[in-house]
Amino acid sequence: MANIPVTTWSLEQTDPNDLLPAAAPEGDVRIVRAEVPSPELSRFLYASVGGDICWIDRLCWTHAQWQERLMRPGVETWVAHDRGTPAGYVELEPQDDGTVEIVYFGLLPAFRGRRIGGHLLSYGAARAWDLAERWPGLPQTERVWLRTCSLDGEHAMDNYQRRGFKLFDTKVEERPEASAPGPWPGAFPA
């Protein structure tokens, strides 16, 4: 298997006023927190959003590993729904120093290009900034950050920058070339 170069960019907001919200999309789009930690739901979202862009790191996780991650204080999953159908999600994970990472963010392929992504990212970043209000004992958020890479969607970097995220680090590394598995093995490409 050949190696390919993958560029990873790290972006941040260091003040809540850095957030530049996107307009809400037309139609019945709602964003709701999945308050009950559900490995099944989280794995569905992870595999469905990342299946065509090589999100493979968590595919081998057991149910117990998913449960352990989701039960950490402050970890939140916010799901965008278009007319009741899951369209995408944002996963937040606080660190001990007042930093909140947007660990995963994206839309299922059928919902891309419909102006839902900017709205979901805006909403997710705002929830990262006010995370401590929902989780007593967590420090007030001082910084929100995320990573994106050259394997992500073509509009990812532009969306992050339009929402007020600023680049603070760039790395290029060789990774083994991997095929995009789709939402379940053998389902992609259709």
| Predicted pLDDT of residue 182 | 64
The three-class DSSP label of residue 9 is: strand
Q: Which domains does the chain have, with CATH numbers?
A: 3-176 (3.40.630.30)
| pLDDT tens-place values along the chain, 190 residues long | 688 899 999 999 999 999 999 999 999 999 999 999 999 999 999 999 998 888 888 989 999 999 999 999 999 999 999 999 999 999 999 998 999 999 999 999 999 989 999 999 999 999 999 999 999 999 999 999 999 998 888 889 999 999 999 999 999 998 877 766 666 555 544 4
Whether 92 contacts 103, CB under 8 Å: yes
| Global pTM value | 0.92
C-alpha span between 154 and 117 (Å, rounded): 12
CA dist., res. 104 & res. 50, Å (int): 9
Locate the DSSP E strands across the chain: 3-13, 29-33, 76-82, 85-94, 99-107, 143-149, 166-176
Q: Tokens for 115, please give them.
A: 């102006």
